[in-house]
Amino acid sequence: MANSKIEISKELLRSRIDTVAKNWLRTDATDSFDAVLLVTGLVADDEVQADKTIAMHHWLFGFEFPETVVILQRGGKVIVWTSSKKVKYFQDFEGPDFRLVQRVTPASVAADASQFKEVMDLLRTGGGSNVVLGIPQKETPKGPFAQVVADVLPTLSGFTVEDCREGISRLLAKKDEQEVKVTKESCSFACEVMKKFSETMETIIDEERQVTHAKVCSEIEDILDNDADMNKICSKTGLQPSQLDISSTLLQTGKTFNLKPGAMPTDDQVAMTGAYVLSVSTRCREYAATVTRTMMVNPSTDQKEAYLLTLEVIQLVINRLKPGAMFKDVYREAKGKVQSARPDLVPRLVKSLGYLTGLELRDSLARLDEKSEREVEAGNIFVIAAGFESATMVAGQQPWAVWVAQTVLVPASGEAQVLTSACSSKLQHVMWELDDGDRDAGSGAVAAQGKPTLPVAATQPAAAAAPAVLPVAATQPAGAKRGPNSKKQPVPKAPPKAKAAKKQEAQPQRQSTRLSATTSSSQAPAPAVQGRARSTRGVTQQVKESMAEQVRLEEMQMQLRAQKLAAMRQRFEQQGSLSSCPPGRGAMAPKKLGDCKAYADPSKIPKPANCVQIDVAAEALLVPIKGALVPFHCRTIKNMARFTTDNFEYLRVNFFVPGQGKSSEDFPEGGADRLYVKELVFKSKNGDNFHSVRQSFVEVQKRLKFKDTQGEVNNAGGTKEVLKVIAGPPVIRDMNMRPTMGSGSRRSVGQLEAHANCLRFMVRGQTEKVELFYSQVKHAFFQPCGKGTLIVLMHFHLKEAVMIGKKKTFDVQFFTEVAALTEDLSTRRAGNAHDPDEILEEQREQELKERLNTVFHEFCKKVQAIPTCPLTFSIPEQDLSFPGVAHKGSVTMYPCNKALVALQEWPPFCLSLEDIDIVVFERAMLTTREFDMAFINKDYSQPPVRVTMVPTSSIDFIKSWLANMKMIWYSVTMNMNWQMVLKEIISDPQNFFENNGWEGWFGDVGGASSEEAAEGSDFVDEDSDADEDDDDGDDDFDGDDAEEESDAYEDDDEESGLDWDELEREAERSDRKRDRERGAEKASTKRQPPAKKTRR
């Protein structure tokens, strides 16, 4: 235990002691104990020695303290006997009701025995002549300390020892709000691990890997050591890796199934067909969660019915979990359900339908079986596990079992809540049916019944899976009739790596009839080989998973859109408008020209001079007119221009006038006959003064701009905090900062320190520093140097703008280069893959990457560990990245849990999703290679944020990511004029809501493809008939052209891509066709064009 990480919460301990005093440990509803003795021994990871004692430690203190005696008394008093190192953690609680006894040193058996008697004498003084002492019997803590207590306790007089495990079980069974919250987090982690488990099994079966059950379970438990997997899981769930643990994993396949909690995986090989029982138990801050699923490959009708009955039993149990219900009554009702539906399955029903869980993974005294007298209480959390055990099968049938488990919360009122519902248990998500042509009639196959195959569990979004590839058409004899549910399979295109796939198929030693998806349709289908035929399993699974995912996303979108419309109505009612600028983000209202004053009174104007001049201090242009200087404030000047004509120098001063950058309201009030000065032109033979005036005007403009910018930052409600320095803060040196503090391209290099309430960056060798208070930071990102990147960085997106140098910015970034961002090609040597110098250089660069990533990561963890720091660093998802154009160049976009970012280039792109109302996919058609995304701000007066040129192949997983973020998206086939759209919505919001919000704009076109949009268009050009009549008389195409077009369509249907010769011929045909079209246009211009009719 690290001293810096152990801190007992005073509020937690006080509330738990009060709970113990109020709800004293009971056995059969009778107060039976005067005190409870809890003894812990040495920590042992290989076995659980004292479940309830350790659970009480975590419940009371939040930690387990080894070799410690804790005595709880009926009145709420506590006695703790432990070593000197552990006593200091309890010193803040010491008092009359909380007594500490320090273990003598050096420790010995005799000293411990003597001191334990003294501790028990303290208990005897407040308990009378005979003290009823409760201890968790049948628990055997290990170690000399625990052994001393076990040996001395029976020798003490005046104590009656009884078992208190039942009382502890009842005390820990009722969860408070904080415990329920942590358990839900544990369930989220369990569901993510189960999805990974399912993906692993899918790969094993698909690749026919020979691996043992224990090996697979070990691979799943190794997720904790895989930073990439943990970062992905934590980004989805918002949890910290240090809080998570995997208690156990279980995989059972083949002929042996053990449906008992605590079963261990065996060293048997994973079977390729049959039933697969997968179970995962996880912990989050020591609170447990369990999820169990059964996957089936080629199940029989009997197996399917048993699985569906299992789901019905689980639902029945969940519906009956009401406060006051008896455990045995719930079990008997579930058993009656099985008896009425399938009497033959009653002997195979599991003997227990669940148990209570929490700080104990399984409470052995609270099992949901036929003999339990316990009652359901509000706040109980159950693991409901129903199933049918394996039985002796008839000849030719493989043994099978079904087991499904859910973690369920019993609230004070209402229906019980399934906390592991994120991992689907529906039949269509857990069953594989292989399209086997050689399956025996006795194998329980349902293919002969004409039922369509079902997909593998949809354990991930369709975007994250491999691109769906349609299967090769199965061979049939000529004249064979198709089944009623069979469909003709489309012929796939051959990918570039088809040769490798064909070579692999040609190997005779692989006894599999699985047809590769890369087989060309021009070849004869592969002959059937005896064995399992898996020609369509993988591809059918992918297609159906993709379809199921699309349906799921559409259903989710319908719900989210209804919620969004209600939220928009509420926002409109509260604000009275849909245009409201977020705090800290709005620009200060421009200063009116009528408010600009160069001089307070005429006496402040300088003495007249016979030349034009700029008063820099007063920010005014002084013009001599009739012997007096007339001042013009520089804010009224639009620009100045200097030019030479006929040996004379001219200076033209252009002013703002209504309609040219300003409105009439910006000018001082006057009569109806007021005049505006639009420009002044000065002429001189010497242009030196004009040059000085123009340069001074430019400097004044810069000063005014900086003043306005600084005023916006100051008026945005900036923080007034003061830096709170801590001793020995986390520091990282040799950092670069963007934006730079100086002008030009000079870099700002220095060190970054993390203090109690602020990050401070100090430039090396200078007094300049930048302070970023934690309260100013909206999002914090850590992006390690990965593939295709050359810098490791920390990025902070701010709630309000700050001034760095003379620049206003919402983004501050600290980074270090792993390699030079630019390279001088003139000094570069010719590359050689076997050059040892280049190999060493690559190795050094890779080592530097890893070292810098570790340094930055450790710094981020230290910052998060500061007690007063609320920041949580998000890591951009490398696997979900996609290219796009955000500013002016193409960058790589990285989705995060709260934002979409592109941080490698400067200026950065950081879009906070909490400021976005909806997302619109523009040009989203199957026929285009790229599409655009428009992010509509919640403030409709702000222009949308657009990301263009996104590959169409990325749209599926972008939709999945947005759905996980609870974001609304629509699809349109064109680019929108957002300025007009938002202006119309702001001008008439009532009409916007009456038309169902954004559904009135995009609801009907969200899922239409380009072809459907073209066929279903309501627009008809009335000139089309006339044009067709004119074209009939002067046809520019002959029969050869029709043949060429026919050939082109046939080429599109070919299996493989076009070679260079075919591409050349295609280009020639395209050129000839374009020349003919140009000739037709010239001919049509000579004729009188028909009168155009109005389009409707």
Return the sign of the alpha-carbon dihedral for residues 540, 546, 549, 551.
negative
Is a pLDDT exceeding 60 seen at residue 425? yes
Q: H-helix or E-strand containing 782?
A: strand 777-783
Query: What is the average per-residue pLDDT within 506-531?
Result: 33
Is a pLDDT exceeding 70 seen at residue 517? no
Query: What is the average per-residue pLDDT within 241-247?
Result: 90
pLDDT at 253: 92
- State the Cα–Cα distance between residues 324 and 344, nearest whole angstrom: 32
For residues 508 and 549, which has the higher predicted lDDT (pLDDT)? 549
- State the Cα–Cα distance between residues 554 and 959, nearest whole angstrom: 10
> For the chain, what is the mean pLDDT?
77
- State the Cα–Cα distance between residues 733 and 813, nearest whole angstrom: 14
1078 falls in which pLDDT band (50, 70, 90)? low
Beta bridge partners of 135: 163
pLDDT at 1016: 41
pLDDT at 716: 53
Pick the range with the lowest mean pLDDT from 25-39, 436-450, 835-849.
436-450
Output the six-digit token pair for 514.
């699985």
For residues 1083 and 549, which has the higher predicted lDDT (pLDDT)? 549
**Residue 125: exposed, middle, or buried by beta-carbon count in 10 A (0-12, 13-18, 19+)?**
exposed
686 falls in which pLDDT band (50, 70, 90)? confident
> CA 98, 102, 107: angle at the middle one, nearest 5?
150
pLDDT at 336: 94
pLDDT digits (tens, 9 = 90+) for 340-374: 999 999 999 999 999 999 999 999 899 999 999 99
Q: Which range is most confident: 316-325, 638-647, 832-841?
A: 316-325
Per-residue burial over 73-85, b = 16 or more CB atoms within 10 Å of its CB, e = otherwise: bbebbbbbbbbee
pLDDT digits (tens, 9 = 90+) for 217-226: 999 999 988 8
Q: What's 95's DSSP letter?
A: B
Is a pLDDT exceeding 90 seen at residue 781? yes
pLDDT at 1089: 45
HEC sequence for 463-504: CCCCCCCCCCCCCCCCCCCCCCCCCCCCCCCCCCCHHHHHHH
**Residue 206: exposed, middle, or buried by beta-carbon count in 10 A (0-12, 13-18, 19+)?**
middle
- Half-sphere exposure for 772 (CA within 13 Å, toward CB): 28
**Residue 829: exposed, middle, or buried by beta-carbon count in 10 A (0-12, 13-18, 19+)?**
exposed
Q: Which of 250, 548, 282, 213 is nearest to 387 (CA)?
A: 250
Q: Which of 328, 288, 292, 289 is nearest to 310 (CA)?
A: 292
Length of the chain: 1096
Helix orientation angle between 10-22 and 51-61, rounded to the nearest 10 degrees: 120
pLDDT digits (tens, 9 = 90+) for 429-463: 888 776 544 334 333 333 333 333 333 333 333 33
pLDDT digits (tens, 9 = 90+) for 722-775: 888 888 899 998 889 988 876 555 678 899 999 999 999 988 877 788 899 999
- Are 220 and 280 contacting, i.e. CB atoms less than 8 angstroms apart? yes
Beta bridge partners of 193: none
Q: Which of 729, 724, 727, 726 is nearest to 859 (CA)?
A: 729
Q: Which of 458, 475, 468, 465 is nearest to 515 (CA)?
A: 475
For residues 25 and 76, which has the higher predicted lDDT (pLDDT)? 76
Pick the range with the lowest mean pLDDT from 188-202, 233-247, 501-515.
501-515
pLDDT at 1074: 72
Q: Which range is most confident: 77-86, 477-486, 1018-1027, 1041-1050?
A: 77-86
Other CB atoms within 10 A of residue 185 CB: 22
pLDDT digits (tens, 9 = 90+) for 280-309: 999 999 999 999 999 998 888 888 999 999
pLDDT at 489: 37
Is a pLDDT exceeding 80 seen at residue 684? yes
Query: What is the average per-residue pLDDT within 130-140?
Result: 87
pLDDT at 411: 93
For residues 580 and 625, which has the higher predicted lDDT (pLDDT)? 625
Q: Which range is most confident: 787-791, 816-820, 855-859, 1041-1045?
A: 855-859
Is a pLDDT exceeding 50 seen at residue 244? yes
Q: What's 325's DSSP letter?
A: -
Pick the range with the lowest mean pLDDT from 40-54, 515-529, 597-611.
515-529
For the chain, helix, strand, coil in percent to 5 are: 35, 25, 40
pLDDT at 410: 94
Beta bridge partners of 355: 367, 383
Output the six-digit token pair for 589.
């209202």
- State the Cα–Cα distance between residues 216 and 250, nearest whole angstrom: 9
> How many Å is the maximal CA-CA distance in the chain?
124
For residues 488 and 918, which has the higher predicted lDDT (pLDDT)? 918
- Are 899 and 907 contacting, i.e. CB atoms less than 8 angstroms apart? no
pLDDT at 211: 93
- State the Cα–Cα distance between residues 1003 and 1026, nearest whole angstrom: 35
- State the Cα–Cα distance between residues 93 and 10, nearest whole angstrom: 8
- State the Cα–Cα distance between residues 691 and 614, nearest whole angstrom: 11
pLDDT at 483: 37
- State the Cα–Cα distance between residues 916 and 931, nearest whole angstrom: 19
26 falls in which pLDDT band (50, 70, 90)? low
**What are φ and ψ of residue 894, in 5° steps?**
-125, 120
Task: Write down the residue that tokens 């109020």 correspond to.
Answer: 22
- Are 301 and 314 contacting, i.e. CB atoms less than 8 angstroms apart? no
Q: pTM for this one? A: 0.48
Query: What is the average per-residue pLDDT within 536-556?
Result: 71
Output the six-digit token pair for 818.
């792993």
The residues, any chain, with a CB within 8 Å of residue 70's CB and separated by 6 or more, are 37, 38, 56, 57, 60, 78, 79, 80
pLDDT > 90: percent of the chain: 32
pLDDT digits (tens, 9 = 90+) for 980-1008: 999 999 888 888 988 888 988 887 554 44
- State the Cα–Cα distance between residues 244 and 233, nearest whole angstrom: 11
Output the six-digit token pair for 986.
């702001």
Task: Write down the residue that tokens 């070919």 correspond to.
Answer: 1054
pLDDT at 207: 86
Return the sign of the alpha-carbon dihedral for residues 558, 561, 566, 569.
negative
